[in-house]
Amino acid sequence: MEKDLRQIRPYGDHWNDGRIQVSFTLPLKASDQAREAARIYMEKLGLRSPLVAWMEPMGEGFSFFVGYGVAEPMIDATKISVPRPEFPILSRDALVDLVKKRFGRPLVLVGGTTGSDAHTVGIDAILSMKGIHGDKGLEYYPCFKVVNLRAQVSNEVLVQKVSHLKADAILVSKLVTQQDQHLEDLKDLVRMLKAEPHLPAYLLKIAGGPRIDHRIARSVGFDAGFGPGTKPSEVANYIVHELIKRREGNADGKDRMEGDASEATHKKRRPLLGWLGGGGEDS
């Protein structure tokens, strides 16, 4: 059967039947009344033939539900466009040669997990020599000077380190996302970076984490966002190629890369998903 991707909805038992599963918690003690309340709520969501398949207590006065229903809306998958940075992927040696030729010095990268977030798995996967799934981290590239501040770094300390080292790129990993705290932290960091007078205009701001993608990162003021599945080699190539774009976007690129405060004009695109991790020089 030829499938029309211009009109699709969730698949359950057969093509386009719209069957979906939902789960949620209500502030009600587990009871027949709570089960019916859950069914009614699913109905109000627009689900046809709602069924509460599972109910269990979630502490005093709360209940957790799993339900099924039929969703009516359809989408046109052929018109979906995913915001993403785009850039070529070079081998490690080719990238090292490119940086040597175009910059004549190692690029300085400062990374860390900010706020109360104590997770370093992501930042380590990208920055540390070991990398992830056989893809070596940015410490493995002699064209980078990697400074990994690791976990629970305040925005103030991060900005100070970036300013002191005259960094070319800042990489921030966020995992704790309760009440969208990761987004508020990222917004605060962008405000602080804008207020710091000693940062070059070309500074790349990169965010990563399980609930970060390029669209979300751009919406809070970052230049790029990388979510689950991102490889260190992708981040390395993005950094180099984007800095070259910004360098060439200025009439006097050499001066700009040395710290001219003129505004960068180049944007970017390419699918990057997954990330951010640590290990590195802390000076």
Q: Which residues are catalytic?
A: 130
Beta pairing, strands 48-57 & 19-26: unpaired
Structure tokens at 237: 């190539």
In sequence order, the 6+-apart residues with CB closer than 8 A to the CB of 189 are 114, 155, 158, 159, 172
Distance CA 133, CA 130 (A): 9
Report the side by side order of strands in the sheet with 63-70: 19-26, 63-70, 48-57
Strands (E), 151-264: 169-173, 204-208, 224-226
CA dihedral 163, 274, 88, 131 (to 10 degrees): 80
Please give the Cα distance from 189 to 210 (Å, whole number).
19
Backbone φ/ψ region at 125: left (φ over 0), alpha (ψ -120 to 50), beta: alpha
- Check if the beta carbon of residue 67 is closer than 8 Å to that of residue 21: yes
